[in-house]
Structure 1
Amino acid sequence: MRRFARRTVLGGLLAGAWPGDAAYADALASLRDRPNGRDRLWLRRADGSEIVSRFRDPSGAYDRAQILLLSWFMRDIRDDERAVWMEPRLFDLLASVQSSMAAVHGAPLPLLVTSGYRTPAHNAALENAARQSMHVYGYAADVQVKGYAPSAVALAASFVSDGGIGLYDSFTHLDVWTRRSWGGEARKPPEPSP
């Protein structure tokens, strides 16, 4: 698990697109024009920050600069904004879920990330979090889609996921560890052994 600091990320963002940039507007327009692209993501956080990313190059390989941007976006904002290199397959899963939901909805919808990477200290402080949570390893995200129940997100994920799907009252947990599912806010996810 590679950790990186804000300074490292900011130094590596020369090729990135940020809100207000023409490249960012072009990326957002591209996403809206092709809602079924499984190589791009539109993510938001509760504070209103968002990222639009095409994380695979034309050959299908991961674009490392975009994975870096997405990993930084998924940082633990509750623990000193610490980040790790997120598992790129998580972005494939999120893009597939987003693409499936866009096909049903008729237009792309951003995924609201309520939790991405979590530091071990932050994870330990959460009441119902698994001790070996996939969030700690950069393998998981908790997401919402405005206008859709968590069960709709879980259903979309069930068609494309080989990992964990957790259904909660206000969000859906998605990870790329092993196939398993659970439901209900009071129920903890099964403890995986990494």
Structure 2
Amino acid sequence: MAGASEPLRDAPAGRDRLWLMRPDGTEVSSRFRTAEGYDRPQMLLLSWFMRDIHDDDRAVWMEPRLFDILAGVQASMSAVHGSALPLVVTSGYRTPRHNAALENAARTSMHLYGYAADVQVRGYPPRAVALAASFFSEGGIGLYDTFTHLDVWQRRRWSSGRPDFVREPGTAGQ
């Protein structure tokens, strides 16, 4: 998939663009923001990319703030890395049927509403992605063994078996 008139992989990562991949190698590059705001055709392209490929390619309009968080994570991790890094999306939108079939998925998962993405950055542990997200996200950050969950609902942090996950400022370890 091509999403913009210039190859964004060659451009530095920024808060106005995304380079997303799926585990199968499918990818999209998009400059989704302009000086005037969100670029609706690019938002449509990104929303389609985030569709539920496990349930007839069903899609919803993804919450634009999610793309802002993803772009912030990508830009900061790319800056540390020294070159642009794609975000690997392991789950975007999920249909109710697909979500119900997943063993540990929340019944009211933010994936159902187009508010969440599970992502990886190749070569970096999920904890690094979670840490980068903590600078940009006012929503949920969940740390799992192989991916990081990001959403734009309520501010909350959790981990799967990791009590030492990102602590709120001013809190003591337990």
- Tell me the TM-score normalized by structure 2: 0.89
In the alignment, which residue of structure 2 is the partner of 1:43? 20
Identity of aligned residues (%): 72
For 1:1-194, list aligned pairs within 5 A.
18-19=1-2, 23=5, 26-28=6-8, 31-35=9-13, 37-59=14-36, 61-184=37-160
Q: Which has the higher helix share?
A: 1
1:90-141 per-residue CA deviation (whole Å, 9 max, x = no partner) reads 0000000000101111111000000000000100111110000000000000
Distance 1:119 1:57 in 2: 30
Instruction: Report how far residue 47 of structure 1 moved.
Output: 1.5
Match of 1:6 in 2: none
Let me know the Cα RMSD of the aligned residues. Answer: 1.7
Superposition deviation, residue 185 in structure 1: 6.2
CA distance in 2, matches of 1:40, 1:111: 12
Counterpart-to-counterpart distance in 2, 1:48 and 1:114: 11
- Runs of 5+ consecutive residues of structure 1 not aligned to the other structure: 1-17, 187-194
Query: What CA distance in whole angstroms lies between the structure 2 residues aligned with 1:52 and 1:148?
Result: 21
8 Å Cα contact 2:94-2:111 kept in structure 1: yes
Q: Quote the offset at 1:34 in angstroms.
A: 2.4
How has the CA–CA distance of structure 1 residues 105 and 88 changed in structure 2, closer, same or farther, with 3 Å as cutoff? same
Deviation at 1:46, TM superposition (A): 1.3
1:74 & 1:81 partners in 2: Cα distance?
9
Matches of 2:65 and 2:48, distance apart in 1: 16
Return the letter of the residue paired with 1:40.
R
Code of the residue aligned with 2:30 in structure 1: it is: S
Report the alpha carbon displacement of residue 57 of structure 1 after superposing the two structures with TM. Answer: 1.7
Q: Is the 8 A contact 1:27 1:54 kept in 2?
A: no
Q: How has the CA–CA distance of structure 1 residues 22 and 100 changed in structure 2, closer, same or farther, with 3 Å as cutoff?
A: closer
How many angstroms does 1:22 deviate by?
8.8
Give me the whole-angstrom Cα distance separating, in 1, the residues matched to 2:20 and 2:95: 21
Superposition misfits of 4+ residues, deviation over 4 angstroms: none
